[in-house]
Amino acid sequence: MLQMIREYCKNDEEGWLRCRVLSFLHTAYYDNVLTKKESYTHPSIELVAVESGEIVGLIDVEYETRPKTVCTLCSSMGGMIWHIAVHPDFQRKGIGAQLLLAAEQKLKKLGIFELEAWTRDDPWVNEWYQKNGFRKGSSNLHVFIDGEEVDRAVCSSIPGLKPLEAFAHYSGENKEKIRKSFNRVYECRGYYKKIR
């Protein structure tokens, strides 16, 4: 049984990092490993779910004090979900939905009634967002370029500097060509939600 959802504090950083990396392990974000928790330019809501003293879930929402300073899909002031994760041993117990609800309640008290989130094309993650009231807005491709792909796609203007890997966003019209040209391509989907 989940003991509590509470505000993140600095002493939670190691547990936050562990929870995030383990929850991302079997997703398209498997190699997005952080060594320290991000901080935000704008105000944020940062919550953790705690069970038996262990962080088993987290949500970070950076919110706007002026429209379009953080979010791109929201029509008024909104909050951007930068991180939401549940430890694999605690998934499918409603913890993610509880974290989302707690963040939404805090946003409503601030007069913010829209949320935005971006995720890659893992079906179960996209289904979770849709089940929790989000609608798909727009998308782009995340393209990881390595090996022989680098030589035909990336060059350096600095003598002696040879790129070995690259990460790129593609928002052009020929997404299918990009998918066929590179081994590791994900659709990054933007979702938005009106908070009720």
In DSSP notation, 33-79 reads --SS----SS-EEEEEEEETTEEEEEEEEEE-SSTTSS-SS-SSS-E
Instruction: Indicate if 55 and 148 belong to the same structural domain.
Output: no
* pLDDT tens-place string over residues 7-25: 999 999 999 999 999 999 9
Instruction: Indicate if 158 and 101 belong to the same structural domain.
Output: no
Q: Which domain holds residue 134?
A: 4-139+189-194
Quote the pLDDT of residue 2: 67
Quote the pLDDT of residue 3: 81
Percentage of the chain exceeding pLDDT 70: 99
* pLDDT tens-place string over residues 59-92: 999 999 999 999 999 999 999 999 999 999 999 9
Instruction: Indicate if 147 and 135 belong to the same structural domain.
Output: no
Instruction: Indicate if 12 and 23 belong to the same structural domain.
Output: yes
**What is the domain count for the chain?**
2
**CATH number (domain holding residue 115):** 3.40.630.30
In this structure, of 1-5, 8-12, 127-131, the range with the lowest mean pLDDT score is: 1-5
Instruction: Indicate if 131 and 48 belong to the same structural domain.
Output: yes
